[in-house]
Structure 1
Amino acid sequence: MFEIRVITDPADTNRVTDALSAAFDTGPARQYPTRDGKRTRLYVTADHRPEPGPWPTPEEAYVLAPSIIREIGWTAQTAADKPLGETLSREFWLRKAALLDRIALSEEEDGVNDDAVEAATEAARQLIAYDRDGEGDYHGTPYWPEHPATTANPRGYVRQEYATLT
């Protein structure tokens, strides 16, 4: 366990504490004005986050998933039924990313090398951005959207989040 001291502009206090809590397992931030009263001193007790476990395997994540054909139909229908000006739900982005991941896995297994992997990775990044922007109700166990492992393995993040649906 260690303590972090940061001197920051008062307007940046929330951004700094959010970044610290994303990087470390932190306690509440203690705030004090600097001597000149123009900035804020933050004191945060922190510890390294425990190493998370492995990503769910595709078999674990998709064990109860509907067929790929059914998911294609659901995804297309949901996108077509979206009222103009409304944003699509997290469920849509998650199911779309999982569908494309499953297609890419199938093609990888068959030795086919086309755009499926790229499409699955891009869909996973869209889900991560949705969750990172605070739109989604992600589970983040063991990886949250800002975790470096999520950036390195976006399709693993999709599997983690999809596994919580079933």
Structure 2
Amino acid sequence: MFEIRVICDPTDSDRVSAALSAAFTTGSVRQRPTHDGQRTRLYITADHRPEPEQRPTPEEAYALAPSIISEIGWTARTAADKPFYDGLNREFWLRKAALLDRIALSDEADSVTSDAADLSTRAAQRLMELDGTAVICDPRRYVRQQYAHWAKNQ
């Protein structure tokens, strides 16, 4: 545990507090004016966040996954039912991102150049947006973690 002291403009104190809370596990923020009264001193007790949950390897994440061909079919049928992507739910984006990740992994293993990795990352970012996740991590690893959890509970 450690103490952080920040001197900032009073209008920035909420933003600074929020940023520190996002980076650390924090206690309450104590505010005091600086001696000249022009700025604010923030005192925050903080600690490092616990280590993030172990992310599964691709092999672990996709151990229960249907074949790539089967997932292409499912994704195409689901997208065709909702052509404007308006009502597509989390399962669609999770499975689509996982499918694209699996294709990208296959291409990488075979040293094939394609846009699968980029498409996989973009689909993963869409999933993270749906989840309201502000996780700072590789989006494709996030998909693997989420897919492994989803597949285990199916």
Query: Under a length normalisation based on structure 1, what TM-score does the superposition of the two structures give?
Result: 0.69
Where do 5+ consecutive residues of structure 1 fail to align? 139-144
Task: Say yes or no: does 1:159 pair with 2:120.
Answer: no
| Maintained 8 Å contact 2:79/2:85 | no
Give the superposed CA RMSD: 3.1
CA spacing shift, 1:89–1:18, aligned 2, 3 Å: farther
In structure 2, the gaps of 5 or more residues are none
Identity %: 61
Larger gyration radius, structure 1 or structure 2: 2
Quick check: 1:136 aligned with 2:144? no
* Letter matched to residue 146 of structure 1: V
Matched residues, number = 149
Counterpart of 2:135, as a letter, is E
**C-alpha displacement of 1:101:** 0.4
Q: What is residue 120 of structure 2 aligned with on the other side? A: 120
Partner of 1:101 in structure 2?
101
Q: Tell me how far 1:52 sits from its aligned partner.
A: 3.8
State TM-score, norm by structure 2.
0.73
> In structure 2, the residue corresponding to 1:105 is in which secondary structure?
helix
Partners in 1 of 2:39 and 2:80 — Cα distance? 50
Structure 1 segments of 4 or more deviating over 4 A? 6-12, 31-42
In 1, the alpha carbon distance for the partners of 2:83 and 2:113 equals 36
